[in-house]
Amino acid sequence: MERLLNFVYNYRAFFTFLLLEFFCAWLIVANNQYQSTKYFNTSNRLIAQINATSQGIREYFSLRDINEVLAQENTMLRTKLVQQEQALYLYNLNKVRDSALFRQYDYVSAKVINNTTKYYKNFITIDRGADAGLQVGMAVISSLGAVGKVKSVNDHYAVIISLLNIENQVSGLIKRTGHFGTIQWDGTNPSIINLKYIPRHVNPTVGDSIVTSGYNAVFPAGVFIGRIKEFKLKEEALFYDIKVELSQDFGKLSFVEIIKNKTMKERNLLEQTTIGEQK
């Protein structure tokens, strides 16, 4: 026994080393798997405030760009609204029957206070949290396209898993042909994202729009993601390699909208009870 203790004591540095490294490895795995680690990230109040100050200074340099994008979005929305009203009037559908479906999606706008694009696992911190009704798993979009989903929520801040995160998968659809695949980033170029699992018989073309499919309850169907930049079909490969140019420049992200899906719980419950628990 004494020998053993002596042995441990003599190699105490090595054992501490092993202990600390195992602890760190556990932290990394836990942080990837569970969505509940919420104190030791940028949604922590103190850290978020520091970041908000720093972002406030940075923002002055991009005010012009932000204004332009917002103005464009306003015009787009106004046009859409008019079109919609005309269509509704035409078919006499002004009275909506199911109030739950009428406001199925609710939007909360938030400011980005921390954002990275250059790592393999990128996260975005925003200045809205549980007090604005945010919950883990909600979809986040910007005026130009899909952004990510909420990973953890504190009282006033939340952390979002960016689309530019090699672990984030989103169901995407080629709008023209209607075939769906999985959107996943490969970790290299922050303006390009991959569309995987599009089978051989499909004929994509450069410039095709890619939108979210709505097959998982996170994103509503039809949120724009980007356009096909190039695609390859290797000999013997089952699926295309498709590179999609993102419509949102993640480096310039400044305002985002969080989508509250009121029927998400209902849908998840239904799918889980019939199909079984899914990841």
Partner 1 sequence: MTRTGILQFVSFFIYVLVQALLLKNIVLFNTGFCFLYVAFVLLLPIETSALILMAAGFIMGFTIDIFYDSLGLHALSMVCIAYVRNYWLGIITPQGGYDAGAFPNVNTQGLQWFLVYTMPLVFIHHLTLFLVEAAGSLFWYSMLKTINSMLFTMTVIVLLQYLVPQRSRA
Q: In the complex, which residues of this chain contact partner 1 (CB under 8 A)?
A: 12-14, 16-17, 20-21, 23-28, 30-31, 37, 40-42, 44, 47, 50-51, 54, 58, 116, 118-121, 123, 125, 159, 166, 186-190
Cβ distance to partner 1 smaller for residue 18 or 101: 18
Cβ distance to partner 1 smaller for residue 125 or 212: 125
Closest distance of CB 44 from partner 1, Å: 7
Which run of H or of E encompasses 270?
Answer: helix 264-275
Q: Which two tokens stand for residue 141?
A: 């979009």
Name the phi and psi angles at 229, rounded to 5. Answer: -95, -45
Closest distance of CB 223 from partner 1, Å: 24
Cβ distance to partner 1 smaller for residue 249 or 271: 249
Cβ distance to partner 1 smaller for residue 42 or 248: 42
Closest distance of CB 16 from partner 1, Å: 6
Relative orientation angle of helices 2-10 and 12-33, to the nearest 10 degrees: 70
Place of tokens 């970790």: 187
Closest distance of CB 173 from partner 1, Å: 26
Distant-in-sequence, close-in-space partners of 185: CB < 8 Å, separation ≥ 6? 163, 164, 165, 166, 168, 193, 194
CB distance 153 to 274 below 8 Å: no
Place of tokens 């540095």: 13
3-state DSSP: the chain helix, strand, coil percent, rounded to 5?
A: 35, 30, 35
Cβ distance to partner 1 smaller for residue 31 or 268: 31
Closest distance of CB 18 from partner 1, Å: 9
Short-list 176, 181, 174, 209, CA closest to 197: 181
Closest distance of CB 53 from partner 1, Å: 9
Cβ distance to partner 1 smaller for residue 23 or 89: 23
Which run of H or of E encompasses 41?
Answer: none
Rounded alpha-carbon distances, angstroms, from residue 49 to 79, 134, 136, 140, 192: 38, 19, 21, 21, 31
Cβ distance to partner 1 smaller for residue 58 or 80: 58
Judging by DSSP bridges, how do beta strands 145-153 and 139-142 pair with one another?
antiparallel
Closest distance of CB 160 from partner 1, Å: 10
